[in-house]
Amino acid sequence: MTDDLTRKSAVDIAARVQRRELSPVDVAAAFLRRIDEVEPRVNAFVALRRAEVEREAAALAARDDLAGLPLAGVPIAIKDTFRVAGLPRRLGSRATPDEASTEDGELVARVRRAGALVLGLTTMPELALWPHGAADVYGKSTANPWDLTRGPGGSSAGSAAAVAARMAPIAIGSDGLGSIRIPAACCGLVGLKPGEGVIPAGDVHPWFGHSEAGPVATTVGDAALLLSVLSGAPPHRLEPRPLRIAVAVRAPSPGIRVHREFRRAAMDAAARLAEAGHSVSIIAGPRSLPIALALLRRWCAFAADDVARLDLDADRLEPLTRIHVRRGRRVLRRRPPDDADVARMRAVLDEVFAGCDLLLQPALAQLPPPTASFRSGWLRSILRMTGFTPFTPAWNLARYPAMAVPYGSSAKGLPLAVMLGGPPGSEPRMLSVARHIETMAPWPRHAPL
């Protein structure tokens, strides 16, 4: 029974609970047993609400309005960016207070009202700054369920690892430079960063408008369902229609090499979409060194702004973060982030979208490395991180939507992924094309852990 239930999609679980064919109590028990089984090897959770989940599942089962709850009985994992009543919100840092939140944040409240069972908080790197799953405040690093020697990506590391390891069917993450799409790509999942204003900011780091909350899921349907609940909008109808899709496999920054398996995945996905009736064209893709340098300055400024805004003691930060903060303070003194960089990035992308509806790119440039490789000297770490994830940040700077979609496996058996990006309001198009990819090239929904 445990295996059967933990392999179900959120859409399926909710539908069966709504029809009273399945009890939320049984669903909760199945996922809690699964967590007991694999969490010691994966380390995805910061805190688990075991007793509360069992109590809330029993109360949910007794309600007479299950048919009207879109996430009825669906367990969900929450990134440690978001407030969950009764749990401390640490943001991956020893510098933050360890007092429990007195109430849920807005997005957690939304999924609760929709009938979800909040399992607990999941890991992230300090202040969501890095594309890995390690933070000193938590102790152990989070492992990639597909290969426990590698990292799961980040910063929504624990959210992606929990879903890939069947500890939760869906999760909420946040994405300021790729922090949903990177771990989704590393862990073989669907991860969507919506455009500006689609989902309320809630507890998400402001990061000068870069960051958005969004869903992490194993299916396109589950991602669409959670997006609907978080945004408060009706679910998008996933009905693929012929679109103009541009394909670009070149890294957006000079000097970055894209692994041949990610290039091949993007080109193969493009060929499949052309066979399905979409108009596909290959382009060089957007590339701008000034924009890449602007993104690096902003990345540092995010850290300095967080420390000032949250009134954190910088001496309690991890060494790499302290260096990032110092550089960020210089950026804020000399050239604080403004809308000029945003306008430049939008102009670059708008030129692309003058001739197409969506842009298809590799989701990553390299396979996920061990987390430890990102925790060396500052410059070396920054170069490794930017060489690993060069495609994702531009979409945050522009505030345009983008999503990671699994596509095939590497020679090492690790998931590969492509990324779809579009202009404002194109979330329905991206979800529909992702559903088309899911139908034509279905992926294993969970790691064989």
Asked if 108 contacts 117 with a C-beta cutoff of 8 angstroms, the reply is no
Rounded-to-integer distance, Cα 2 and Cα 38, Å: 13
Measured on CA atoms in the order 216, 221, 222, 223, is the torsion positive or negative? Answer: positive
The pair of three-digit structure tokens given for residue 313, joined into one six-digit string = 């003691």
Rounded-to-integer distance, Cα 204 and Cα 319, Å: 24
Clarify whether 140 is annotated catalytic.
no
Asked if 5 contacts 26 with a C-beta cutoff of 8 angstroms, the reply is yes
Clarify whether 159 is annotated catalytic.
no
The pair of three-digit structure tokens given for residue 121, joined into one six-digit string = 């908080």
DSSP run (H or E) holding 175: strand 170-175
314 CB neighbour count, 10 Å cutoff: 15
- 159, 179, 211, 253: which is the annotated catalytic residue? 179
Burial of 132 (0-12, 13-18, 19+ CB in 10 A): buried
- φ/ψ of 107, rounded to 5, equals -75, -35
**SS3 assignment, position 96:** coil
- 93, 155, 381, 426: which is the annotated catalytic residue? 155
Burial of 441 (0-12, 13-18, 19+ CB in 10 A): middle
Domain ranges (residues) in the chain? 2-231, 244-289+337-440
- Same CATH fold assignment for domains 2-231 and 244-289+337-440: yes
Rounded-to-integer distance, Cα 265 and Cα 83, Å: 37
Among candidates 33, 43, 102, 108, which has minimal Cα distance to 76? Answer: 108
Rounded-to-integer distance, Cα 182 and Cα 279, Å: 27
**Architecture in CATH for domain 2-231:** Alpha-Beta Complex (3.90)
Clarify whether 410 is annotated catalytic.
no
CA 43 to chain centre: 17
50 CB neighbour count, 10 Å cutoff: 14
- 8, 9, 79, 159: which is the annotated catalytic residue? 79
Say if residue 155 is preceded by a cis peptide, omega within 30 of 0.
yes
pLDDT by residue for the chain (449 residues), tens only, comes to 445 899 999 999 999 999 999 999 999 999 999 999 999 999 999 999 999 999 999 999 999 999 999 999 999 999 999 999 999 999 999 999 999 999 999 999 999 999 999 999 999 999 999 999 999 999 999 999 999 999 999 999 999 999 999 999 999 999 999 999 999 999 999 999 999 999 998 899 899 999 999 999 999 999 999 999 999 999 888 777 899 999 999 999 888 999 999 999 999 999 999 999 999 999 999 888 899 999 999 999 999 999 999 999 999 999 999 999 999 999 999 999 999 999 999 999 999 999 999 999 999 999 999 988 888 889 999 999 999 999 999 999 999 999 999 999 999 999 999 999 999 999 999 999 999 999 999 999 999 99
In the sheet that holds 75-79, the strands lie side by side as 45-48, 117-122, 75-79, 170-175, 212-217, 190-193, 402-409, 415-421, 358-362, 244-247, 279-282
**SS3 assignment, position 280:** strand
Rounded-to-integer distance, Cα 132 and Cα 181, Å: 12
Q: Report domain 244-289+337-440's class.
A: alpha beta
- Quote the pLDDT of residue 109: 98
